[in-house]
Structure 1
Amino acid sequence: MTFLKKLSPFYYLLLFYIIVSFVLRIVLFFHPITQTSFTWTDTLSLFVFGFVSDFFVFVLLSGFLWVYLIFISNSKYYTPYGYIIFGLLLALLLYVSIGNTILNEYGSALPKIAIAFLSVKTFLFGLLLFLPKYRNQIRFWLFSFVIFIYVVLILQNGISEYFFWNEFGVKYNFIAVDYLVYTNEVLGNIMESYPVIPLFSALFIISGLVTYFIVKKSKNYIQSIPAFVEKIKLSGIYLVLFGFSLLAIPFLSSKENAHNVFANELQANGIYKFYLAFMHSELDYFKFYKTVPNSEAYTQLKKQISSISGETTWRQIQNEATENHKNVVLITIESYSAEFMKMYGNEKNITPFLDSLANKSLVFTNLYAVGNRTVRGLEAVTLCFPPTAGESVVKREDNKNKFSTGSIFKQKGYAVKFMYGGDSFFDNMGDFFTGNGYEIVDKKTFEPNQITFANIWGVCDEDMYHKAITEMNKEAAANKPFFNHIMTVSNHRPFTYPNGKIDIPGDAKSRDGGVKYTDYAMKKFFEMAKKQPWFNNTVFVILADHCASSAGKTELPADKYRIPAMVYSPGFVEPRKYTNLMSQIDVMPTVFGLLNFDYQSKFFGQDVLKPDYKPRALIATYQDLGLIKDNVLTIISPKQTVKQFQLTLKPNQKIGSDFQIHYDQIPVTKERMDLVNETISYYQTASDMLKKKKYQKIN
């Protein structure tokens, strides 16, 4: 066979990978979530640069294939070398299985992985050594299996990228890395959300057909194994391409710089995006973002929070009236966009109870979530702290003993609990809340008879609320005020819930159904709560953790961060609408103001009802950090980049002016440096406070 044919396993797999990637880009290009139009230069760039990037990524991914093919030979089975090698493999397997190796020092699953790998390797080597008559057949099936695994992984990655785009409107990012960590919940979610059996049946059938074609075209490699010199040539070609790929891939990634975010995402290679997300789970603000001297950053922050001084956010909060130690119940609703509610223009009547409750509450009509993940929402209402670059504080190692909402309540003599219908291990919630003085009530604390319905995320909201009522009755009986933070789970894909509760079947897996059942369960909670003796002495705070979707035309589409929020306490909190711009981090400091709490504060969040509050909102992803103020969105990003957009209202005549959500985001022609500096001040000082451990609780 010619030397070119000896490369056939590589270039047929490469061809298949390129075809799958090209088809995926076409599908995502026309996907409904891709809400934008592309210029011809954007279109050309995303396909040309995307193709070249895919080529080089495949070169790196084919490293295992190269190692496997290079080591195919007959000479290693000749006497006595074959028996020596087999003996060494067997001895190594026994040593790793029985002995105390360096792998045991690292612990976790590493020793088991090594044992499994060596077991398979020793077994297969033994087969090829002791069954020479069947060596060619065994080698053929091993070769076919390796090709099949590559084909399956290529197809599986394409499917995964599609579903990830379908959910988030981007290629892989931090969330995909999280999904590898929390495989139980994520795999369960997939099993319950999608037709997995037909999907994977089709996947394996197609993979089998493609494998058959590739093996048929490239089996001559194992039928006529290359000589040593030819393997050297193959290795030389591969290693040169491998080295060039290491340089080319980051360079091509730097070309993802179009103004159209969707064009950048479509151009990107998903596997490389996953690698970047995995390697950069924490971003050092001071290395990657535009900075000013720390003293200037804190001076700028003082213009926004006038009572701070020095390089800290510490200040004394004083109220003229007497403190009121009412119970506080904070409900954060999973994935709940403002546009679900009637007052924001929704005409489907899927939030009838919350719509009615809003008329009896202090409603924050112009409030923005800080992020697009549950952990960001929990961080915002617990730490009242800006969303710093990288992972949420909830998921960081240094996440304990922080200055928090719970620490203030504890100082005031409250019992403090975090209640969650799922397993609080997920997203590190249990570690975070326990480490900050909260008692945890999660699915593990439920008795079997307390669970009427559950899916992969946890018990249904009704079950969680029943449990919450039971816990609150115990707390009230102890004559101690309580603060209970409840996190819901039912409004999350797969959107399954008990049948017969609302007019949308619980097995329809409909987002509207999830929203409506969440509303129904909350209605039942308040019906129960009103019958309890502690109800009239309780303040209820209700808001979303984040919106249902964060995909949009720009890095930070403002409408995808608008969430509902309200405070309900009949006879104590006057029903009205607060229409000024505000952030999720301001909710709890405002509640403390309603209770007239005197306390020492480090919160970046502020009491928006005070006269010195200056309206603004903070919104972010894991790397793009934004500030909304004066109808301008300022975004600071890695590589010291800054962007600004003028927010021009796109009015909806059917709804009131206080509930308008949608804006055109037009790049500004003249940079507002005052807003750039203010944006930097929030995020730089927050990063500094964390880095220097200045945001610890006050003892």
Structure 2
Amino acid sequence: MPLFQKLFSKRFGPIFLLYLIIISLAFITRTALLFKSAAGFEWTFLNIIGIYFIGLFYDTVLASYFCIPLVLYIWLIPNKIFRKNWHRIILYGYFLLVTFLLLFNIVAEWVFWDEFSTRFNFIAVDYLVYTTEVIGNIWQSYPVIKILIIIFLIAIATFFLIKNSIKASLNSSLQFSKRTMIALPLLCIPILSWFLVSNKGKEFSNNQFAVELAGNGLYEFGAAFCNNELDYNKFYATIDQDRAFKIVRELLGHDNVTFLEDKNSIVRKIKYTGDEKKYNVVLISVESLSADYLGVYGNTQNLTPNMDSLAKNGLLFSNLYASGTRTVRGLEALSLSIPPTPGQSIVKRPNNENLFSIGNLLKKQNFDTQYIYGGYGYFDNMNYFFSNNGYQVIDRTAINEKKEIHYENIWGVADEDLFTLSIKELDKDYQSGKPFFSQIMTTSNHRPFTYPDGRIDIPSHTNQEGAVKYTDYAIGKFLKEAATKPWFNNTIFVIIADHCASSAGKTELPVYRYHIPAFIYAPKIVKPQVFEKLIAQMDIVPTLLGMLNINYDSKFFGRDIFQVKPDEEWAFVSTYEKLGFIRNGHLLVLSPQKKVQQFKVLPNNDQIEEKVDKKLEEEAIAFYQTASYLYKNKLLSK
């Protein structure tokens, strides 16, 4: 009798069988994702061996968790019941369910990798909260029913292949004491792994695709779920607190800046000469728009003729980088002007009310301040965050008449309908006699990439290029209509992406994947020019305040870019746990376990690891440490 058949015929044979199924499907998943990412994967012997052997370790840990209910059942069920014919239905059902879920996971991981080029992570956990939008997005993007039927049929076929092996164990008898001697060690495996294993063990290579492939998607999901907020001082490299604030104050100091408190503070007076300028400001945050989609940044597909024209006739920022990889990170940078603190975005954290935001600041300056969104604002906690930080929130619920909606999907109304709503609101603001600040968040440039027919030459539901071109169409239409309004000549329009379309690359923080488009358009106010200095996304807010010539006491970490000297350029990039600081062509990366790395960023977008420069390290730590300290201690309130 073959060895496997002997094992299956034993009382705990189903445990071994389940383990084989789990690691086999995990092997298939890993191999499929490997070939999907073949272009970015570094094909070395070490990487190939690493992803499969380290991957097997994490697959085994995951399998130990799946085996817990089966171990308990086989251990505690008496022999008399275990040998009953009806009993096999329970075991059959469990194997069929687990097989279906694991096959479904293969498809889910493929889809997630296609979007983010990573295993399940914090984003996947985040999406669980918003099941309506996420499930709706999947439903509109993929043939879900067909996929589920295929998965179910494969699960049934797999079950019939293993049915006899499950059945072989049902005639075995084993005394409870002997079952205990087997069950307890098996149960110790997941218990010990819970306390002793972390997902950091997969970080064996400098190639990020190899690191991701070495992990296990479901295990990574669990790890992200348990670590969705990270305490900076506990997990990251630190320096003396007084020194950290001293460094940050030196970096934020300018001729028009006076610090108002002695230490452990960045509160400072920002003073401009001349009178305040009561311009209106309309800030358009464009969903998932990488700089390389625009012609002014080198694209040759003519996807953005309207934005290209506007940018050429305005102030174009050629070297601006997003704070993170999610919409909420962009919203955080554009409202709070703060570096990306580790873990969840502040937009989604508890106790995020009454912060020092541009909304609260301009509201004190007698501006009408609004956040206008084409979807339902409960998504990503936007309603709560903005309404509690100085903005009036206007979302999908403000559009009541069906005739005002040309198209909508799970994320919200089409961008042209969002801008129609925005025009109405801006007209109301103008009639009130007060200047206005309105931040508009688009949604159409997002999977499933659907929009009204007949607007552009790329059919709806085709690809992201089509969604980009449609959003460009909607922005062009909006600005054309706005130009007919009496408030147009006195209005500054800012168009900026929230983050790039993709953040994946060969390294943990591929800098070029954070390069976003941004420009200011105001024909009567701003002269056409290209601004080439390195800029952080959070610099937009104080730059706008500078254009308004407003004197104010600031708690912002960003700076008016027109006050920045050539040797004072930097930017911030991040994932939920990797914190990057870019300066002078170098990227300093802070990671959990107090890890510090430095990379030289080459013109071809490659990044070569180099010796850590002490000065750059202290500057990076100082920014992130002080930002985390001020937020944690509620010192960033308005």
TM-score (norm 1): 0.86
Pairwise CA distance, 1:215:
2.4
Native 8 Å contact 1:417 1:441 kept in 2:
yes
Segment of structure 1 superposing worse, 417-426 or 62-71: 62-71
For 2:417, the equivalent position in structure 1 comes to: 463
Q: 1:153-552, aligned counterparts within 5 Å?
A: 153-222=101-170, 226-246=174-194, 249-250=197-198, 253-306=200-253, 307=257, 308=259, 309-449=262-402, 450-508=404-462, 510-552=463-505
Pairwise CA distance, 1:52:
2.3
For 1:694, the equivalent position in structure 2 comes to: 635
- CA distance in structure 1 between the partners assigned to 2:13 and 2:80 by the alignment: 23
For 1:596, the equivalent position in structure 2 comes to: 549
- CA distance in structure 1 between the partners assigned to 2:321 and 2:202 by the alignment: 32
For 2:534, the equivalent position in structure 1 comes to: 581
AA partner of residue 667 (structure 1): E
Bigger Rg, which one: 1
- CA distance in structure 2 between the partners assigned to 1:433 and 1:337 by the alignment: 25
AA partner of residue 281 (structure 1): N
Native 8 Å contact 2:286 2:496 kept in 1:
yes
For 1:140, the equivalent position in structure 2 comes to: 88
Pairwise CA distance, 1:71:
4.2
Q: Which SS does the other structure have where 2:344 is aligned?
A: coil
Match of 1:40 among 40, 45, 49: 45
Distance 1:34 1:66, change over 3 A: farther
- CA distance in structure 2 between the partners assigned to 1:33 and 1:317 by the alignment: 51
* Aligned length, in residue pairs: 625
- CA distance in structure 1 between the partners assigned to 2:189 and 2:235 by the alignment: 30
Pairwise CA distance, 1:302:
1.9
Pairwise CA distance, 1:242:
3.6
- CA distance in structure 1 between the partners assigned to 2:38 and 2:513 by the alignment: 13
Pairwise CA distance, 1:516:
0.4
AA partner of residue 664 (structure 1): D
- CA distance in structure 2 between the partners assigned to 1:192 and 1:49 by the alignment: 36
Pairwise CA distance, 1:41:
1.3
Pairwise CA distance, 1:158:
2.0
Pairwise CA distance, 1:237:
4.1
Q: Which SS does the other structure have where 2:563 is aligned?
A: coil
Segment of structure 1 superposing worse, 140-149 or 588-597: 140-149
For 1:25, the equivalent position in structure 2 comes to: 30
Native 8 Å contact 1:72 1:225 kept in 2:
no
- CA distance in structure 2 between the partners assigned to 1:519 and 1:167 by the alignment: 22
Residues 403-443 of structure 1 show CA distances to partners (whole Å, capped at 9, x for unaligned) of 00101110110111111111111111111111112111111
- CA distance in structure 1 between the partners assigned to 2:535 and 2:200 by the alignment: 36
- CA distance in structure 2 between the partners assigned to 1:696 and 1:352 by the alignment: 41
Native 8 Å contact 2:282 2:437 kept in 1:
yes
AA partner of residue 428 (structure 2): K
- CA distance in structure 2 between the partners assigned to 1:56 and 1:492 by the alignment: 35
Matched, 1:683 2:608: no
Matched, 1:66 2:66: no
Pairwise CA distance, 1:524:
1.1
- CA distance in structure 2 between the partners assigned to 1:381 and 1:631 by the alignment: 24
Percent identity of paired positions between Structure 1 and Structure 2: 41
Pairwise CA distance, 1:224:
5.2
Q: Which SS does the other structure have where 2:576 is aligned?
A: coil
Native 8 Å contact 1:327 1:539 kept in 2:
yes
Q: Which SS does the other structure have where 2:229 is aligned?
A: coil
Distance 1:326 1:140, change over 3 A: same
Pairwise CA distance, 1:61:
1.9
For 1:666, the equivalent position in structure 2 comes to: 608
Native 8 Å contact 1:9 1:218 kept in 2:
yes
Pairwise CA distance, 1:227:
4.6
Residues 622-652 of structure 1 show CA distances to partners (whole Å, capped at 9, x for unaligned) of 11111111111111111111111111212xx
AA partner of residue 39 (structure 1): T
Distance 1:32 1:487, change over 3 A: same
Native 8 Å contact 2:587 2:601 kept in 1:
yes
- CA distance in structure 2 between the partners assigned to 1:665 and 1:375 by the alignment: 27
AA partner of residue 606 (structure 2): D
Pairwise CA distance, 1:463:
0.8
Native 8 Å contact 2:279 2:548 kept in 1:
yes
- CA distance in structure 2 between the partners assigned to 1:545 and 1:3 by the alignment: 55
Q: Which SS does the other structure have where 1:30 is aligned?
A: helix
Q: Which SS does the other structure have where 1:649 is aligned?
A: coil
Residues 505-563 of structure 1 show CA distances to partners (whole Å, capped at 9, x for unaligned) of 1132x110010000011111112211222111211111000000000111110100000
- CA distance in structure 1 between the partners assigned to 2:473 and 2:190 by the alignment: 57
CA RMSD of aligned residues (A): 2.0
TM-score (norm 2): 0.94
Distance 1:229 1:214, change over 3 A: farther
Native 8 Å contact 1:33 1:551 kept in 2:
no
For 1:94, the equivalent position in structure 2 comes to: none
Q: Which SS does the other structure have where 1:62 is aligned?
A: helix
- CA distance in structure 1 between the partners assigned to 2:56 and 2:270 by the alignment: 58
For 2:589, the equivalent position in structure 1 comes to: 635
Q: Which SS does the other structure have where 1:350 is aligned?
A: coil
Q: Which SS does the other structure have where 2:600 is aligned?
A: strand
For 1:622, the equivalent position in structure 2 comes to: 576
- CA distance in structure 1 between the partners assigned to 2:167 and 2:473 by the alignment: 61
Native 8 Å contact 2:37 2:209 kept in 1:
no
Native 8 Å contact 1:57 1:245 kept in 2:
no
Segment of structure 1 superposing worse, 298-307 or 548-557: 298-307
Structure 1 portions without partners, runs of 5+: 78-134, 651-662
Match of 1:14 among 10, 19, 35: 19
Native 8 Å contact 2:291 2:517 kept in 1:
yes
Native 8 Å contact 1:582 1:616 kept in 2:
yes
- CA distance in structure 2 between the partners assigned to 1:633 and 1:265 by the alignment: 21
Segment of structure 1 superposing worse, 218-227 or 635-644: 218-227
Segment of structure 1 superposing worse, 231-240 or 577-586: 231-240
Pairwise CA distance, 1:53:
2.2
Pairwise CA distance, 1:141:
2.9
Segment of structure 1 superposing worse, 369-378 or 603-612: 603-612
Native 8 Å contact 2:8 2:165 kept in 1:
no
- CA distance in structure 2 between the partners assigned to 1:354 and 1:243 by the alignment: 56
Pairwise CA distance, 1:285:
0.5
Pairwise CA distance, 1:390:
0.7
For 1:52, the equivalent position in structure 2 comes to: 57
AA partner of residue 275 (structure 1): G
Distance 1:153 1:361, change over 3 A: same
Pairwise CA distance, 1:8:
2.5
Matched, 1:607 2:549: no
Native 8 Å contact 1:46 1:264 kept in 2:
yes
Pairwise CA distance, 1:320:
0.7
